[in-house]
Amino acid sequence: MNDATQPPVAKKKPRSYSHHGITVSDDYAWLRDPGYPQVSDKEVLGHLEAENAWFETRMAPRKDTVESLFKELRGRIKEADKSVPQKDGDYLYWIEFEEGAEYQKWWRRPVGAVEDGSADQLILDEVALAKGKDYFRLGAMSVSHDGKLLAYAIDDNGSERFTARIKDLTTGELLPDEIPGTLSSLIWVAGDTGIVYSLANENWRTDNARLHWLGKPTAEDVELYHEDDEGFRVGSSLSANEKWLIVSASDHETSEVRLIPAADPLAEPLLVRPREKGVEYDAEERGGLLYIHANDTHENFRLATAPLDSPAEWTTLIEGSDAFYLTGFDLFRDFYTIEGRRAGLDQIEIRYYDNPGRIEPIAFPEASYSAGLSDNPEWAMDRLRLSYQSMVSPATVYDYDVVDRCLDVLKVQQIPSGYDAALYRTERLEVTARDGTVVPVSVVMRKDREPDGPLHLYGYGAYGIAIDPGFSTARLSLVDRGFAYAIAHIRGGDDLGRAWYKAGKLERRTNTFNDFVDVAKALIEKGHTQAGRISISGGSAGGELMGAVVNSDPELFGAVVADVPFVDVLATMLDESLPLTPGEWPEWGNPIEDKAAFELIRSYSPYDNVTAQGYPPMLVTAGLNDPRVTYWEPAKWVAKLREMKTDENELLLKTNMGAGHGGKSGRFESLRETAEEFAFILWQLGL
State how many domains the chain has. Answer: 3
Is residue 659, in this structure, part of any structural domain at all?
yes
Residues 60-79: pLDDT tens digits? Answer: 999 999 999 999 999 999 99
Same domain, 447 and 518: yes
Residues 81-114: pLDDT tens digits? Answer: 999 999 999 999 999 999 999 999 999 999 999 9
Partners of 656 in beta bridges: 623
pLDDT at res. 1: 44
| pTM of the entire predicted model | 0.93
Question: What are the distances in angstroms from CA 422 to CA 78, 86, 392, 590, 636?
Answer: 21, 32, 9, 50, 46
Same domain, 685 and 594: yes
Same domain, 565 and 661: yes
Radius of gyration over alpha carbons of the chain, in Å? 25
Same domain, 61 and 138: no
pLDDT at res. 659: 67
Question: What are the distances in angstroms from CA 66 to CA 46, 419, 480, 536, 620?
Answer: 26, 21, 16, 19, 17
Is residue 312, in this structure, part of any structural domain at all?
no
Find out whether the peptide bond into 565 is cis, omega within 30 degrees of 0: no
Which residue, of 216, 243, 271, is where some domain finishes?
A: 271
What are the mean pLDDT values of the chain's consecutive 10-residue runs (687 residues total)?
A: 78 96 97 92 97 97 98 96 96 96 96 95 97 93 97 92 96 97 96 97 91 97 96 96 98 96 98 97 98 98 97 97 97 98 95 95 92 97 97 97 96 97 96 98 96 96 96 98 98 96 98 98 96 97 98 98 98 91 93 98 98 98 90 98 98 88 75 96 97
Q: What is the DSSP letter of 83?
A: P
Q: What is the DSSP letter of 602?
A: H
Partners of 134 in beta bridges: none
Q: Residue 226 maps to which CATH number?
A: 2.130.10.120
Which residue, of 213, 245, 271, is where some domain finishes?
A: 271
Same domain, 137 and 267: yes
Is residue 388, in this structure, part of any structural domain at all?
no
Residues 493-504: pLDDT tens digits? Answer: 999 999 999 999
pLDDT at res. 660: 62
Is residue 345, in this structure, part of any structural domain at all?
no
3-state secondary structure of 344: coil
Q: Which residues span the domain enclosing 433?
A: 425-530
Instruction: Return the ∠ at Cα 126 (arms to 672 and 188), rounded to 5°.
Output: 130
Q: Residue 571 maps to which CATH number?
A: 3.40.50.1820
Same domain, 446 and 504: yes
Same domain, 493 and 563: no
**Distance separating alpha carbons of residues 387 and 348, to the nearest angstrom:** 11
As annotated, the active-site residues are 540, 626, 661
Say if residues 469 and 391 touch (Cβ distance below 8 Å): yes
